[in-house]
Amino acid sequence: MCGICGIWSPREQATADPAEAARLMFFSLYALQHRGQESAGIAATDGRDLRVVRRMGLVGQVFSEPDLRVLTGRAAMGHTRYSTTGASKIQNAQPFTVRAEGLGELAIGHNGNCINAREIRDRLADEGVHFVTSSDTEVVAQAIAHAPGSSWDERITHALPTLVGAWSLVLLTPTALYAIRDPLGVRPLSLGRKGGSWLVASETSALDTIGAQFVRDVAPGEVLRIDDRGPVAIADLASHERRGLCIFEHVYLASASSRLSGVSVYATRERMGEILADEHPAEADAVIPVPDSAIPAAVGYARRSGIPFHEGLIKNRYIGRTFIQPSDELRRHNVALKYNALSEVLDGKRIVVVDDSIVRGNTSGPIVELLRRNGAKEVHMRICSPPIQHQCFFGVDMARRSELIGARLDVEGIRRHIGADTLGYLSLGGMVSATGGTREEHCTACFTGDYLVPVQLELQKSVLEEKRVLETESA
């Protein structure tokens, strides 16, 4: 996941309020907090140098008003991290900065996963490049910094075609902001405008939060340079073989208030619930969601089925999204803290409970148990996506395939494991249909195993961590 954003403002705006760009980045990152909860950072420039503040924790914990006085300048970029390659520690927090001979500094924020990072890192290390982190983002940054070319434009367009996977980027130099969407179009990236300022963000919800107007999506493979002349496309690196937006963005990852490829995420999730009701009806007294991401689907299920919609689970808003916690132990612990059940709604009732997905199966069982403990007579679990059976290599740390319950058990086995009376999954065709697009327009690899590019099936998020340990020991 991860959230990335950037802004380039007119010089006169920076003169009026030197911290305005960083302040807008702060609120944009707040709107992208759901995309990563491990660390956050902002880089800013006044046209001479780059200044960076990055720390572990949530956006509201990381930045303070004194930080904004440091992050002055007309342009800024921000990042909120959820780790896919590289451990959750401060050395891997973004933005990173690198220095290139003859060009100066470059700050980088990355959303996605460069699946050939180890090979590129090995090549650069053989050329004498020193690495200080275990993140694939540093590999991308150093590949750009050490590419041939007399300008950042030339180095960027030379280095990026060597990368494989999903690697949407926001780059900042003292003279320009770059917005780059991966050639496969797996991760979303939007372009917006606020007055004379140009902005980019992972989701349109970040633009809405700061009062910016959505202009368009950055196209797959498009490399935009943004400076005083506005956004200019300097390269088209789009894949001519296959491409596709991650369909799990529609199911879970993106904010319900965002639009993906011009389509409302909330409306898509409602349609998923409606189709789910057609495919897996149930005799029940109430439909309840697992908040928050499944609420629209539960609304759709209730509307199509005619079964009343109720809130049966109340979410503790101060507990983060358990899906993106960095360990199973924390995830299991948080389930007990995350929800309170309403016995007044559940007692003696047959309940349809709608959720967006089942990944490892560690949360669904305790939810079913919680509902029964609070009086539910029957629990019919309905999932508004197909079984997740394959590992993601394009920016979502779902787990290795051996940890995915959908890869180990059939639907009946999963039903028994979680303790539900019945279990129904939305079909692949139903999920795709709900988006209003086609299967060819989406990446569905986590459900089908049909990857957009060849992948190393046992790739781990710690691959560069292990490499760094070996290098340290050998030194």
Q: Give CA separation, 222 vs 160, 179, 210, 231, 442, in Å.
A: 11, 8, 24, 11, 18
Report yes or no: 36 and 80 within 8 Å, Cβ to Cβ: yes
In the set 2, 5, 443, 446, the catalytic residue is 2
Q: Which residues of 255-286 are buried (b: 16+ CB within 10 A; e: fewer)?
A: bbebbbeebbbbbbbbbbbbbbbeebbbebbb
End-to-end CA distance of the chain: 34
Cα separation, 231 vs 223, in Å, equals 10
- Whether residue 2 lies in the annotated active site: yes
Report yes or no: 207 and 199 within 8 Å, Cβ to Cβ: yes
Cα separation, 272 vs 384, in Å, equals 6
Cα separation, 41 vs 54, in Å, equals 4
Count of beta carbons in the 10 Å neighbourhood of residue 410? 9
Q: Which residues pair with 261 in a beta bridge?
A: none
Report yes or no: 167 and 120 within 8 Å, Cβ to Cβ: no
Cα separation, 464 vs 328, in Å, equals 21
Contacts of 148 (CB under 8 A, 6+ apart): 154, 155, 158
Cα separation, 250 vs 131, in Å, equals 36
Report yes or no: 391 and 401 within 8 Å, Cβ to Cβ: yes
Count of beta carbons in the 10 Å neighbourhood of residue 210? 21
Cis ω for the linkage preceding 95 (within 30 of 0): yes
Report yes or no: 4 and 202 within 8 Å, Cβ to Cβ: yes
> For residue 109, what are its two tokens?
């924020």
Q: Which residues are catalytically annotated?
A: 2
